[in-house]
Chains A and B, each alone.
Chain A
Amino acid sequence: MALSNKTGVFICHCGTNIAGALDVHKVVDASRALPGVAYAADYKYLCSEPGQQLILDAIKEHGLKRIVIASCSPRMHEITFRKMLKKSNINEYLLEIANIREQASWVHTDFDKATEKAIDLVRMAVAKVGKSEPLKAQAIPITKRALVIGGGIAGIQAALDIADAGHEVVLVERECSIGGRMVMLDKTFPTLDCSACISTPKMVDVSAHPNITLMTSSEVEEVQGYIGNFKVKVRKKATYVNHDICTGCGLCEEKCPFKVESDFDRGLSKRPAIYKLFPQAVPAKPVIDKDACVKLKTGKCGVCLKICPLNCIDYEDEDKTVELDIGAIVVATGYKPAKWQSMYNEYGAGRFEDVIDGLQFERLVNASGPTEGKIKRPSDGKEPETVVIVKCVGSRDPKKGHAYCSRACCMYAAKHAHQILEKLPGGRVFIFYIDIRTPGKGYEEFYDNTRKDGAVYVRGRISRIFREGDTLVCQGEDSLLGRQVRINADLVVLETAMEPAEGSADVLNMLGCAKNDDGWAQEAHPKLRPVETQVGGVFLAGVCQGPKDIPDTVAQASASAAKVIGLLNKDEMETSPMIAAVAADKCSGCGACEPICPYTAITLEKTPDREPGTGKKIERSVANVNAGLCQGCGACTVACRTGAIDLLGFRNTQILQEVDALWQ
């Protein structure tokens, strides 16, 4: 049954802000004459306590059913007046605001024309509210458990912060240990503290925290649901080692006869087929690399099983899928260094062993790395004398790499130079750069010190690297001198760009999060909502959102943790009722709305129905809107061919009424 249209119109003077620029009384008179309007009044400040009381009294006195308030912008006081209506018997969504301040009195100088416009605006609002319907905000429950995807320093920090606040956290990491890129590093700028020394204690905290469930060798496979109510499937990959009994004694690793290149050491060393990622790995227990293990491939070997004192090895182990109920998700998938070999033929495309990338250098200079911290060049193990560092390899290069700046390279290039000069007395370092960017606390000072250490900064991008006999020649321009330089280098370190981690696109797609053209996750607002995504309940931490250094990564991780804690502290949350709604009888199930939804809120679902005419029971597809996911943009309504899908609060009929009202 259609609601009565008994509409009350209230016009605010806003002191003289409105009343001074247009004829309020004329507006009141005009309002009274509008169809459906039962009462009209004006007041000095409607938003004030007595103003609100005036409206509430009028509602009671005149039995009003719908309200139009002509005042300032709805962005200002819509919420105020909705709250007010909660005290009356009128649903708070049977309210329209006619913006006669920002849209009329403030921007026009002609008194009469402004009045005329104000009347038009009121007429539009009255017309629209006549078609409004009562809406009710839904409360959705919130599962008090967070999922953190990625166990690098960002994921670790976010997990610890959320867990410390008393909420359950599941930390999923696809490698067999958490730690990410940070544990591969030797020292961190600008303070030069040892990277492992500051990150491994945090890793141990994660494994010991009662609120954290750590899932290594695991990958998120499927995400369903919406804010507060995600259903997540995680695949726990087979490790072939029973971690419940394994003590991590390491005998198996010692005796394993098969070795492959170590990813952790960036190909600079070998590791056995049964291995821990690195000595301080968390969990400190080995796994079998099924692509390298001869027993798993051919059935011949089994040394680890024989040697294991506790019988932990299980060659029959299989992947398992775990289903989790999750309230909030933190994406912390990090980065991978750009594969410069396929980008830069002029740097040898990987032909020269002594041209390495920055992360390889970190392993070379790391005390727990393949050379125990001695800088030796890969080709012959000699200590290099002259080292050339090339910055912006893959960054700031729209043709061959990426247009963006990778942000951390200037600083770690300076750090590398410092480490070389410290470890190789008499060594020389040339750093080729385009610009030096050191915006960070203590960063410029660090760069200054590196120059004082004796690093030679050459402004110019290396044009090519070629072999001349035993040495590598780095040819570039010293653009400040305007002269070409050719430097005979023993070792060349390329500071490569950061790229979104392998598989991060899959994770973002699964979650329905947007990414930019470079593949970085898109934050909800670049300035004001930097850790949220467009998807409610999904937050970003660290480099997955864009290149950054460790301090920024940790800061962002804590920020996203704060957002998660804020969410999980509530038992339930209200969602806006102004969302898309489907008239099932009109929906043809064509699915045009489905791909247009930026939030994957619409799905086609089989619905029982009866065949017209015969009355036979059938099933047909009908679009279904998930209230938790829908944000109310209305894009689907335009795509709908039958007009079955509509936006509550902004229904087609409401907007058309507004349009019609203008020319009545």
Chain B
Amino acid sequence: MTEHETLNELMEKADVRQYDCYQCGKCSGGCPMSDAMDFGPRGLMRCAQVGSLGRILNSDTIWLCTGCHACVERCPHDVNVPALIEEARYEAMRRGIKRHDSDVLNKTFVSSVRTFGRNHEMLLAGLYNVFAMKPIQDMASVPHMMKKKLINPLLKPIHGTSEVAELIERAERWDK
């Protein structure tokens, strides 16, 4: 499949059409993450319009989107950029393109769910900080949380933990 066809397939899956966007910028104007993104939602649509799939997949925009839907909400043409971003993320991952920090977090998160059936917040933050090499991030809050027992180092797994792990296993296999 050519890059162009792949792009069109992503767009179709996301139910977004290049021609729907006339680049008014209302999306990027309201996007809370716009300041940090390389393209922002409008820029991403521009990439799609000029057929530059590579730029989309390699952008940090797709990893920084918080999925808050402010862009779609205000878009005069109802362009669902978050849906496109979701598809772009999957395609990027299929190609092994990743943003290191997001990848570390997401994988740690899912491992935590696999092991406990739930999200072990402390373990997640701790492991993330180790793998992402950000040892001091949020650590100032730890003493308070320990003192007030807001985090429990000894979270017990739920009964159906193995069931959840198998569920994830099956779902992942389905994707392949």
Contact = CB atoms under 8 A, between A and B. Distances in A.
B35 A434 contact: no
Contacts of A464: 29-30, 74
Contacts of A482: 28, 39-40, 43
Interface string B29-47: 1110011000110110000
Nearest to A460: B25
A463 B31 CA distance: 9
B40 A463 contact: no
Given A399-B76, A399-B77, A479-B42, A460 B31 contact: no
Contact of B40 (A397, A401, A477): A477
B75 A477 contact: no
A400 B76 contact: yes
Given A484-B31, A484-B34, A396 B25 contact: no
A477 B24 CA distance: 9
A475 B30 contact: yes
A451 to B, nearest CB: 20
Contacts of A478: 25
A434 to B, nearest CB: 5
Contacts of B30: 346, 463-464, 475-476
A459 interface: yes
Interface string B136-159: 000000000000000000000000
A463 B27 contact: yes
A434 B77 contact: no
Contact of A462 (B23, B26, B42, B43): B26
A612 interface: no
A156 B101 CA distance: 69
A518 to B, nearest CB: 15
A483 B31 CA distance: 11
A399 B77 CA distance: 6
Nearest to A396: B76
Contact of A477 (B28, B73, B76, B77): B28
Nearest to B79: A399
A464 B42 CA distance: 16
B9 interface: no
Contacts of B75: 399
- Residue in A398, A459, A482, A483 with the greatest tally of chain B CB atoms within 10 Å: A482
Contacts of A101: none
Contacts of A400: 76
A461 interface: yes
Interface string A479-493: 100111100000000
Interface string A453-472: 00000011111100000000
A476 B42 CA distance: 12
Kindly state the interface size class of chain A when it binds its partner.
20 to 34
Contacts of A477: 25-29, 34, 40, 42
A392 B78 CA distance: 17
A420 B8 CA distance: 47
Contact of A397 (B23, B29, B43, B76): B76
B29 A461 contact: yes
Given A434-B22, A479-B23, A479-B25, A346 B74 contact: yes
- Residue in B22, B27, B29, B40 with the greatest tally of chain A CB atoms within 10 Å: B29
Contact of B25 (A346, A399, A401, A459): A459
Contacts of A401: 76
Nearest to A397: B76
Nearest to B70: A463
Contacts of A479: 23-25, 28, 42
B77 A398 contact: yes
Nearest to B22: A434
Contacts of B24: 392, 396, 434, 460-461, 479
B1 to A, nearest CB: 30
Contacts of B29: 460-464, 475-477, 484-485
A476 B74 contact: no
Contacts of A460: 24-26, 28-29
A397 B74 CA distance: 10
Nearest to A433: B24
Contacts of A483: 34-35
B28 to A, nearest CB: 4
A164 to B, nearest CB: 45
Contacts of B28: 460, 463, 477, 479, 482, 484
Nearest to A395: B76
B78 A476 contact: no
A477 B22 CA distance: 14
Contacts of B22: 396, 434
Contacts of B39: 482
Interface in B74-94: 74-78
B49 to A, nearest CB: 13
Contacts of B34: 477, 483-484
Interface in A131-168: none
A552 B27 CA distance: 34
- Residue in A397, A462, A477 with the greatest tally of chain B CB atoms within 10 Å: A477
Given A477-B34, A479-B42, A484-B34, A463 B78 contact: no
- Residue in A396, A434, A461 with the greatest tally of chain B CB atoms within 10 Å: A461
A312 to B, nearest CB: 52
Nearest to B71: A463
Contacts of B76: 396-401, 461
A475 B71 CA distance: 13
A211 B43 CA distance: 61
A399 B79 CA distance: 11
A485 B76 CA distance: 20
Interface string B96-115: 00000000000000000000
A474 to B, nearest CB: 9
Interface in A380-417: 392, 396-401
A426 B75 CA distance: 35
Contacts of A399: 75-78
Contacts of A461: 24-26, 29, 76
- Residue in A459, A464, A485 with the greatest tally of chain B CB atoms within 10 Å: A464
Interface string A333-348: 0000000000000100
A485 B29 CA distance: 7
17 contacts: A396-B22, A398-B76, A399-B75, A399-B76, A399-B77, A400-B76, A434-B24, A459-B25, A460-B25, A464-B29, A475-B30, A477-B27, A479-B42, A482-B28, A483-B34, A484-B28, A484-B31
Q: Kindly list the 8 A-B residue pairs having the minimum CB-CB distance in the complex, ordered from nearest.
A: A463-B30, A463-B29, A460-B25, A476-B29, A479-B25, A477-B29, A477-B25, A397-B76
Given A346-B30, A398-B76, A484-B35, 9 more contacts: A397-B76, A399-B75, A462-B29, A476-B25, A476-B26, A479-B24, A482-B39, A484-B31, A484-B40
